[in-house]
Amino acid sequence: MGKLSGKVAFITGAARGQGRSHAVRLAGEGADIIGVDLCAQIKSVKYPMPDKQDLAETVAQVEALDRRMVATVADVRDAAAVREALARGVAELGGVDIVVANAGIFGLSADQDVDHDEVFRDAIDVNLTGVWNTVRAAAPTMIEQARGGSIVITSSGSGLSGRGGDGSGAWSGYTAAKHGVVGLMRSFSHWLAPHIIRVNTVHPSGVKTPMGWNEIMPAVMQDRPELFTAMANLLPVPILEPTDISNAVLWLASDEARYVTGVTLPVDAGFMAR
């Protein structure tokens, strides 16, 4: 018996990176998965975003653990699409007990000719409004089920600090959105506490994913080494592995954290202590 046996987890941004890691980790503890991902490129994002084959690979890895996964291509910016994807998964898997609002982008670029307004808007739309759409889609079903649950929202070290701020659309939009989801979490935790539904945020520092480390980064590091010095961790760990975050998500989703709600949990190698 796993820690999440009999549970169903709804995970956004599930095609690769942290989302895939969360899906596989939770499935390994017995959860079935409802997963969504855009599987398309957003213009303001300069690194390659995941595609349908990436989402299919997540499904394959979950099924290799003898768990079920209902995967849908959906944009978290589209509230109706998120609701439809969740409804399909609930119909097939029998409910939803865990939400991992993970989908996110970072529009960092080494180019000088950047539409900072567009980059900012996209960051807010995906990283903040996408979380709103995700929780608002799942919460009514969780309340109706009357069996409690856990909602974990992916924030960032940038959701607790303004370090690295440079006035760009990428950094400002990302930081604003990641601070914003803390506000959502705190509001949602009050709303859902009477239903024994816990809501928390997890705050990684840099994570080794296609978003966290990609071909854009070396050029930015060369142009602005002081930025990466400012973003360094306290522990001598340059970058975290996705599974480090997944372990925290698993704990928050499990009964081991049954009385933990309304907290901002750093998993950051001491980034916030530095």
Predicted local confidence at residue 221, as pLDDT: 66
Instruction: Give the Cα separation of 153 and 7 in Å (integer).
Output: 18
Predicted local confidence at residue 107, as pLDDT: 87
pTM confidence score:
0.96
Strand-pair partners of 267: 204
Which range, of 73-87, 219-233, 247-261, averages the lowest pLDDT? 219-233
Predicted local confidence at residue 231, as pLDDT: 76
Instruction: Give the Cα separation of 231 and 274 in Å (integer).
Output: 9
Q: What is the pLDDT of residues 114-155, one digit of tens each?
A: 899 999 999 999 999 999 999 999 999 999 999 999 999 999
The residue from 47, 120, 174, 188 that is catalytic is 174
Domains of the chain (ranges; CATH) run 8-265 (3.40.50.720)
Mean per-residue pLDDT over the chain, rounded: 94
Q: Is 174 a catalytic residue?
A: yes
- Provide mean pLDDT across the span 236-255: 97
Predicted local confidence at residue 34, as pLDDT: 99
SS3 129: helix
